[in-house]
Chains A and B, each alone.
Chain A
């Protein structure tokens, strides 16, 4: 993870946490929607389902006030929305533009999520699908602690370990 975060930061990438200014976020949402609409007109080779999914999720993440946003310059390149529940931080959706020059943005968001867990003194929970199980394992998530729900979790201690380890490695 540290390597990708470093690549992103070396290119000037930053991560911004909520609260965001509403008028500013409205602009990000409009740009994300226009990026998603532009997908329909891309050449066939570029019009991948993976990109459509990333753009749609990015739009959805930015619509939610509680979102962590990765920027390169003034451009939002990835976003992650989440809920804060009584006992945990819960991932809603994560999306990105998947731009070559924004490599590492998604990982930087995951690090930001762990930082949010620490700030709120809460563990984190998401879920996974079969084909992304190994990805969640590589993030250091604890899987299937909740039976039959494909749960993917970091305890508060995990968040502290990950943030501490990565910041030390950077």
Chain B
């Protein structure tokens, strides 16, 4: 495989999809994440209904919003 062939493959992927950042997703997704709520960063403990694999989108995710987030009137962006 030449560098040119590999470069062409990468360029085609870049045009067709994101730049691979979703590849950084790993393992079981439960944990604390930072959600931007009305321009305010709020750490939110999130559990998801699906097991997520590398690069597979996280379409069916059900976040559980902790009390401190609710107390500031925040709503997760995907609800």
Binding site for A on B (CB under 8 A): 1, 3, 6-7, 9-10, 13-14, 17-27, 29, 31-36, 41, 43, 46, 53-59, 61, 77-78
Residue of A56, A95, A104, A134 ringed by the most chain B CB atoms within 10 A: A134
Q: Which of A4, A40, A92 has the most CB of B within 10 A?
A: A4
Contacts of B14 in A (CB 8 A): 93
Q: A94-B20, A139-B34 are in contact. List 14 more A-B contacts (CB 8 A).
A: A1-B31, A2-B31, A40-B1, A50-B55, A53-B55, A92-B19, A128-B18, A129-B17, A131-B22, A131-B57, A135-B24, A135-B58, A139-B33, A158-B34
Bound Cα distance from A50 to B33, whole angstroms: 24
Whether B20 contacts A93 by the Cβ 8 Å rule is yes
| A1-27 interface (Cβ within 8 A of B) | 1-4
- Contact pattern, A 125-154, Cβ under 8 Å of B = 1, otherwise 0: 011111111111111111000000000100
Q: Which of A93, A141, A169 lies at the interface centre, i.e. has the most chain B CB atoms within 10 A of its CB?
A: A93
* CB atoms of A137 and B18 under 8 A apart: no
Closest 7 A-B residue pairs measured CB to CB? A106-B24, A131-B57, A140-B34, A132-B22, A134-B58, A94-B20, A57-B20
Let me know if A123 is at the binding interface, CB within 8 A.
no
Cβ contacts under 8 Å, A56 to chain B = 6, 9-10, 13
Q: Is the CB of A107 within 8 A of B26?
A: yes
Contact of B54 among A98, A129, A133 (CB under 8 A): A98
Are A57 and B13 also in contact (CB < 8 A) when A96-B24, A106-B24, A126-B19 are? yes
Known contacts: A91-B19, A92-B19, A162-B34. The answer to whether A135 contacts B25 by CB under 8 A is yes
Q: In whole angstroms, what is the CA distance A107 to B27 when docked?
A: 11
A-B contact pairs, 12 of them (CB 8 A): A1-B34, A36-B1, A56-B13, A57-B10, A92-B19, A95-B20, A106-B26, A107-B24, A127-B19, A132-B18, A138-B25, A158-B36
